[in-house]
Each structure stands twice: as C-alpha cells, then as structure tokens.
Structure 1
Amino acid sequence: GKTANSEEKKAALKTASEFIDKMGYPKHTQIQVLPETGETPLFKQFFKNWRDRDQTEGLGQAYVSGHVAKIEKVPFDAATLHTSKAMAAQHGMEDDGSGKKQIWRIEGSEKVPVNPSTYGQFYGGDSYIILYNYQHAGKQGQIIYTWQGADSTQDEIATSAFLTVQLDEELGGSPVQV
C-alpha cells in the first residue's frame, strides 16, 4: 500500500520471488507491482470478497447531475484495444476480445437482451449491463460491465446498479464488476 516503507516493499518483492521459486515457475515469470487502488479486474477476480473503497452495496447513493465534478471527454476508440498490445495492457484488457458477450438494455425494472447484431451500439439515453466470459491462463473468468448513458434517467441508473448486483449474485459473486 501507499503507506508501506521501502523495507516493506523490498520484503514484498523478495517474498514474491521466493514464491515463484518455490512453485517452480519459470525464471522469466514477471512480478507485477500494482499501485494501491489500481488493481485490475484480473487481479481482483482471485478475491471473492474484494471490495473497493467507497464501493456501494445494493442501490448505493444516487448522485444528482450538476453536483458531480465534470470529467474531461477524451477521444477513445475501443476497436483499437485488441490491435495494440500496449494499449490493451494500459486499459487492463484481460484477453484479445474473443470471449462470449451478453448485453442487456434496461427497460423499466428489467434487463432485456440486446440483439447481437447491434452489439457495440449504445445510446446515451439508455443504460446497459454487459457480461463478458473469457479464458485467461486456462481459467474461466467473468466481468460485468455497467454502462450508464449520459442522458439515462435516475431510475434507469439505479435499476442498472441493482440488476448488476443481482446478476453478480446469480453467478455466485465470482464476476468482477466494472
């Protein structure tokens, strides 16, 4: 963590190196140091009860537009993530995008399946839940993404949060929520 002194950090690296040796992993196995609160979904998936600071349970707290800091909009082309290994690593991509996707749009108090022919088309007035199943290092992983359009109603935003938690519970709590 950020409060660890240099001796503690050195001890952690030494312990990681000893673990690699003890497990018989190849000498070229890399140790990745993650900053506190910078853990990737791939890392978090190994901890069933992982909770981020300020993570809410259930519906959580609703934020009113105008009372939340403005976020600078930066051009971003998701289609290029899989063509650039550096960009994929920078944005925490778990694989090459070949996993199985399921997308639902929030309608009223329900999630309604989106036609696969329209995957990738999201509308600013709607909210969506995306379940992504992937294989990494021979293990099955799942990530649940929640996409809330800039013009989604507060009801849709709250419903998408609730249904995301519900889907996570239906899947045994193992997916990582993003």
Structure 2
Amino acid sequence: QIQVLPESGETPLFKQFFKNWRDRDQTEGLGQPHVSGHVAKIEQVPFDAATLHSSKAMAAQHGMEDDGSGKKQIWRIEGSEKVPVDPATYGQFYGGDSYIILYDYQHDGKRGQIIYTWQGADSTQDEIATSAFLTVQLDEELGGSPVQV
C-alpha cells in the first residue's frame, strides 16, 4: 500500500524509520538555557493597601472612588441565598466560599455604589453561578446604577 504525504507533513510513524530525521527549527533537548544576567529584571515594589487612601495619585491610579469611609455590606453565598456576614469578620474571605460586597460612598456630593463579587478559588460551580445571579439581582434592586466589579 502506498501513501502520499505532502512535504513537511510526514507523520511520526513515518519518521520513526529514519535514524537521522530532522525537522526544520527542531531543537535538541530543552534548548539553550538563559543566563540570569540576560533576563529582564522585574523590580519588586512593596504594596500597602492602607496607603491607597493617603496618596491621591495612587488612589487615582488604582481606581479608588473615595477614602474608603463609605458603608460596606457583605454577604456570603449559602445554597441559593446570600447571608449577611458579621461586620466583625469583614475582610476575611475563605477560598471555598463566594461573596457579594456592596459599597456605598459619597463623591463630590453624589452618591455612588459599587458591587464587588468575590469567588473563592475552591468555590463550587453552583456558588459561582449563584453569586453571579445574585449580583445581577442586587444591581436590579438598586435601579441598575451600581458599578459591578
């Protein structure tokens, strides 16, 4: 049986019969190692979230709407419901859970709202879907004006 193959379209089964078969641009082993002196250096800049509000330039760069003094409400997703989180535990998020955060603020005399959705890396698909659905529902309850993040 004869099989016709286009040039450079040879299959591995065909190539196995030729000891010195080389493809164009084929590398041997892992290729050439890069010396650390030739790799771009990345400057590590320390980041302190507490300084965002004290530096107007930094706050603008990171999209901060105000000084963080607005009202926060946080809910954890349990089943198909959002359950209020105890304010004493605000800021503690668990990887197996999903959360919805509503932030109310005043900026230049105008009221603004942001809805954040936090989906833990180990959240179930149901929790992730529910958090997305409940975020949209909360946005609609608030007249569609909040920004969703």
**Shorter chain as normaliser: what TM range?**
0.5 to 0.7
Aligned length: 149
Structure with bigger RCO (C-alpha 8 Å, 6+ apart): 1
Distance in 1 between the 2:125 and 2:148 partners? 20
2:36 counterpart SS class: coil
Quote the offset at 1:141 in angstroms.
Answer: 0.6
Q: CA distance change for structure 1 residues 66 and 120 in 2, over 3 Å: closer, same or farther?
A: farther
**Structure with greater helix share of residues:** 1
- Say what the alpha-carbon RMSD is for the aligned residues: 21.0
Q: Is the 8 A contact 1:59 1:158 kept in 2?
A: no
Distance in 1 between the 2:90 and 2:131 partners? 18
Larger radius of gyration: 2
Q: Which moved more, 1:114-123 or 1:81-90?
A: 81-90
Distance in 2 between the 1:87 and 1:31 partners? 69
Distance in 1 between the 2:6 and 2:69 partners? 28
TM-score using structure 2 length: 0.67
Quote the offset at 1:67 in angstroms.
Answer: 32
Structure 2: stretches of 5+ with no match in the other structure: none
2:33 counterpart SS class: coil
1:66 counterpart SS class: helix
Q: Is the 8 A contact 1:62 1:158 kept in 2?
A: no
Task: Show the counterpart of 1:22.
Answer: none
TM-score using structure 1 length: 0.56
Quote the offset at 1:80 in angstroms.
Answer: 3.1
